[in-house]
Chain A
């Protein structure tokens, strides 16, 4: 499971990949990669919707996301409850209401490794996820979408596909599981991050 989450996570926020490590990479993929890589510190508002057969209606959460290349990300959920998770190369931690940072010891370690992979990909190296997924790219630089399907049968039994789409920034992530469960993330008001707050700097190791 950890591996699965790991692979998912490594793709989600950035989303670049291509069909096969040996096949020629679509030109659009590299263009999108370069376009996304131009922004080293990004803030966005997110809405995450979760569909599950066990839920009466889709579960929705809102908040904002900070992503800093080389340092990791902060996922700040505001609704339905306050929770701030920090994912850095050295591990996951949680920021409480007082701004205190405590490590999450039973968290999924895949999350930690994700940040590292994100960084390498944003630096132009997308090899890691490309080994795990087949990818198809559609659209143009101004409006693109990519569909990732697992190459390994073990993962394909659980995960149906991951779909990413966007323009200059990443705008949407859709994860579909074989169980009928799905998670959809929409980003709005995506912008360059500007100055980080003191807590953000401490949590991400002072960028």
Chain B
């Protein structure tokens, strides 16, 4: 290493910090779009074995991703409809909103039948196919039945175009004819009980997750809502859309950052002022921490291109750990009084700081090895932050802390420290120590037995209850599926894919008959396979290929002579192809179900509705070629479970590594003593979680990894610091206590977070750091405790 004078080194470090700060400011604010990522699912690794399944998940979420859906509800029909028109007009063209549709564009009822006429001999419903495939179909009877339908047919397909009504039956099963919303006064309307619901759909001008779109769009929605409710106080507006979820998550995270960030900053400031009784240590501690956090933000964005909000909240809490290094240094300064020499002080704390840094980095490096984007980001953030904070103490602070401290550390803190350190240290000696250990284990054992685990995805995402309720209501009123569970259908050709889908939908239809399923939506409802279309045509052939059979039946049923000639001449028409289907305006909303060619294979999506038991849905795909049941929430939960399992192993491995490091520094005999505080801290935390009835999640285990890192720091600080403060009993432990309280102030505040994941994280740290710091005096060697 190059020999630099301390002053030059400090200047270089300060310059570097300044450059990083400017770079960070540009990355954060200088590029138009905010690098803050609010998509909670974006931080998860792929869960599906097949990339095409991941793509299907993407596609389904995009089908509704940049759309906002509103239902305006009122017991007064006119009010609901007026409100919908007003709302649509108030929203259209406003910032963040590309379009808002309340009133339907004009269309002709003929458009719903005419495009299907060329294919009428290739399309049959299951019930009609059974009738036509019968050994001797009652042709005249079928005509008579159609002619005498209750209330008269003649609405829909024309009698002469579709005398048997087969095409009309088929159209009746089409998804565009099965929506619960019907056009009334040119508005999409549904009636439930005595309430009228009118739908308004808006499209965003960009991504739901884009800050530049989200904020103006939200403001536009709020303004339109205000306009409507001012004019129609009886109208209630239900809303859903990915953007509302993203915005809620962002608001929650921002609140968390503010609460945790501000509360911990203020708390730490008051504590430092109280303990050091001088402003300089406070400023130095904050300078060191701030440089660490700024460097962490800058480097993380530089590497990942964005900063996940979970990382940011975690980062706000990391303040509490980064401040430890400066606290150690400042305690040494305060304790040295007039004998202070800034460079000698660095040499005094350096071993402890470097060992503490090494154990922390070890912990975070292990976290970073998880193939989990969010965890990697947090690990990167923590490693950079801790590294820079530590070296700011070693390189920058000595230049700024030349004058000796005017006052020693507050004697009150030392007294409290000593009054706890003595009995603990005494109890932990020799046989007594083993007895106490035994008592602790016995006390903790029932808690360990009570420990359970839970990997449900809802621990990660907890959207506002009102939004959840609105979404459920809209899904039920408008008949829309949620799209997180679906079947992926694959085949080598278009035809094979459609045939695979038909094999699946035959089973789904059986589930409908057995009342295990409400409905399903898939391409083959609209576009049957060529094989199926051929068999439909074959069923018609017996009647249509023999003109006299049709003519006799028509005459018997009462048709004028020649009335069905045009129908007979249209035989056989042609089968509907994928291109035909894609070209029809009515199939436009369903294009997302056809994924098209993916490499050498084709793929489509089938959405089941009305069955929550994913085991039953999965069973429907059993043994069918080319069918995969995709259940994203279940996959994510399984993923959490798997990583929780890995994290358990990593925790053990990290303990072992820290143990090896301690054995190298303190020898085999003393190492267990230094390792005891973090080890016992983790054990007691687990027991406490068991007693609290909190099931263990991935986030608990992650927090325990931090407890290990922090706990090891405390043991090291105390063990290394004690010899230097022999003249001031309790001073070393006072420094550790100070570190712990700052950590509790920051990490512990995460327990107040709106996000369950961070709440678990915070609770665990609160317990873990608490136990560890109380047990830290155990690490002291026998001699000093006397």
Contact = CB atoms under 8 A, between A and B. Distances in A.
Say whether A and B bind each other.
Answer: yes
Interface of A: 1-6, 8-9, 12, 21-22, 48, 50, 52-57, 59, 61, 75, 77, 80-81, 83, 85, 104-109, 125, 127-128, 131-132, 152, 154-155, 157-159, 173, 175, 177, 179, 181-183, 185
22 contacts: A1-B168, A1-B171, A2-B172, A3-B182, A5-B156, A50-B148, A52-B159, A55-B147, A56-B558, A59-B148, A75-B150, A81-B141, A104-B127, A106-B125, A106-B126, A106-B173, A107-B172, A109-B172, A154-B107, A154-B108, A154-B183, A183-B152
Given A2-B172, A109-B172, A109-B178, A77 B148 contact: yes
A83 to B, nearest CB: 6
B77 interface: yes
Contact of B77 (A57, A131, A152): A131
Most A-side CB within 10 Å, residue of B109, B128, B564: B109
Interface in B140-173: 141, 144-145, 147-148, 150-152, 154-160, 168-173
Interface stretch (B46-54, B184-192, B362-370, B709-717): B184-192
B563 interface: yes
A41 B369 CA distance: 73
Given A1-B109, A1-B113, A80-B144, A105 B126 contact: yes
A5 B152 CA distance: 9
Given A61-B148, A83-B145, A177-B155, A131 B126 contact: no
B144 to A, nearest CB: 6
Contacts of A106: 125-128, 169-170, 172-173
B112 interface: yes
Contacts of A9: 151
B127 A1 contact: no
B184 A55 contact: no
A19 B560 CA distance: 39
A8 B147 CA distance: 17
Nearest to A58: B558
Contact of A105 (B127, B145, B154, B194): B127
A55 B560 contact: yes
B154 A181 contact: yes
Q: Provide the main secondary structure of the chain B interface.
A: loop
A50 B557 CA distance: 13
B109 A158 contact: yes
Contact of A48 (B77, B148, B157): B148
Contacts, number: 127
A93 B109 CA distance: 27
Contact of B145 (A48, A81, A159, A175): A81
Given A1-B156, A55-B147, 7 more contacts: A5-B156, A21-B77, A52-B159, A54-B563, A108-B172, A158-B109, A182-B152
Contacts of A173: 151
A59 B147 contact: yes
A196 B186 CA distance: 41
A17 B150 CA distance: 21
Nearest to A104: B127
A8 B153 CA distance: 11
Contacts of B183: 3, 154
B106 A4 contact: no
A57 B558 contact: yes
Contacts of A131: 77, 184-185
B78 interface: yes
B477 to A, nearest CB: 14
**Ranked 7 nearest A-B pairs via Cβ:** A183-B152, A1-B156, A106-B125, A61-B148, A106-B169, A54-B563, A181-B154
A56 B178 CA distance: 35
A124 B319 CA distance: 68
B108 A5 contact: no
Contacts of B78: 21-22
Contacts of B484: none
Nearest to A55: B558
B213 to A, nearest CB: 35
A116 to B, nearest CB: 9
Nearest to A113: B182
B154 A152 contact: no
Contacts of B173: 105-106
A152 B108 CA distance: 12
B128 A85 contact: no
Interface in B55-88: 77-78
Contacts of B171: 1
Contacts of A158: 109, 155
A134 B171 CA distance: 29
B177 interface: yes
A154 B112 CA distance: 12
B324 to A, nearest CB: 67
A80 B182 CA distance: 34
A80 to B, nearest CB: 6
B534 to A, nearest CB: 20
A155 B172 CA distance: 18
B1 to A, nearest CB: 81
Contacts of B560: 53-56
A4 B112 CA distance: 12
A56 to B, nearest CB: 5
B559 interface: yes
Interface in B431-488: none
Contact of B151 (A2, A8, A57, A125): A8
B78 to A, nearest CB: 6
A48 B152 contact: yes
Contacts of B155: 1, 4-5, 8, 158-159, 177
Contacts of A157: 108-109
A184 B169 CA distance: 23
A143 B717 CA distance: 102
Given A8-B155, A106-B128, A80 B109 contact: no
A57 B563 CA distance: 12
Contact of A154 (B106, B191, B558): B106
Contacts of B157: 1
Contacts of A80: 144, 148
Interface string B772-784: 0000000000000
Contacts of A107: 169, 172
B563 A109 contact: no
Contacts of B109: 1, 4, 154-155, 157-158
Contacts of A52: 154, 159
A110 B384 CA distance: 65
Nearest to B125: A106
B554 to A, nearest CB: 9
B158 A179 contact: yes
A6 B190 CA distance: 13
Given A54-B560, A105-B126, A109-B177, A1 B112 contact: yes
B200 to A, nearest CB: 18
A97 B156 CA distance: 29
A132 B77 CA distance: 12
A20 B456 CA distance: 54
B151 A175 contact: yes
A60 to B, nearest CB: 8
Contact of B558 (A21, A59, A83, A183): A59
Nearest to A75: B150
A109 B177 CA distance: 8
Nearest to B183: A3
A5 B184 CA distance: 14
A132 B184 contact: yes
Contacts of B154: 50, 52, 177, 179, 181, 183
Nearest to B513: A103
A90 B136 CA distance: 33
Contacts of B191: 128
Contacts of A77: 148, 150
Given A48-B152, A50-B147, A106-B173, A56 B182 contact: no
Contacts of A61: 148
Nearest to B186: A152
B184 A175 contact: no
